[in-house]
Amino acid sequence: MGNMYSFVTGKNGQEIKVGYGVPTTCEQPRCTEKIDRGLGYLCGSVHGGDEYSCGGYFCGQHLYMAPEGHLGNRCILCRDNGADPTEHSPDAMVVTFSAS
């Protein structure tokens, strides 16, 4: 068993308390899911983030598999390198079905 918490330098240079013993809320806007700051909810593989991830904490509904060759999970913005696939895309294919 590891430590329940430790301190790391997080986003914006702030020191934050991290670990499975630190309760928090999912960082996805409008999500209120209760989680902890353990590795299981971390975007990326490094607390505080790195060049591939933001280091935020997200519930299972808002974490996705990392791209091939990368460790950890990713939030939607880091998974797609900042492109939010939930926003309208002018080159997206639109299919319309009609009942005959």
- pLDDT-derived band at 14, boundaries 50, 70, 90: confident
Within a domain: 87:
no
Q: How many domains does the chain have?
A: 1
Residues 6+ apart with CB under 8 A from 75: 27, 28, 43, 53, 54, 56, 58, 62, 63, 64
Tokens 């902890």 belong to residue: 36
Q: What predicted TM-score, i.e. pTM, was given to this entire model?
A: 0.73
Interatomic CA distance for residues 69 and 89, integer angstroms: 27
Within a domain: 38:
yes
Interatomic CA distance for residues 41 and 58, integer angstroms: 5
Question: What confidence tens digit (pLDDT) does each residue in 56-78 have?
Answer: 999 999 999 887 888 889 998 88
DSSP H or E run through 78: helix 76-79
Structural domain containing residue 72: 6-79
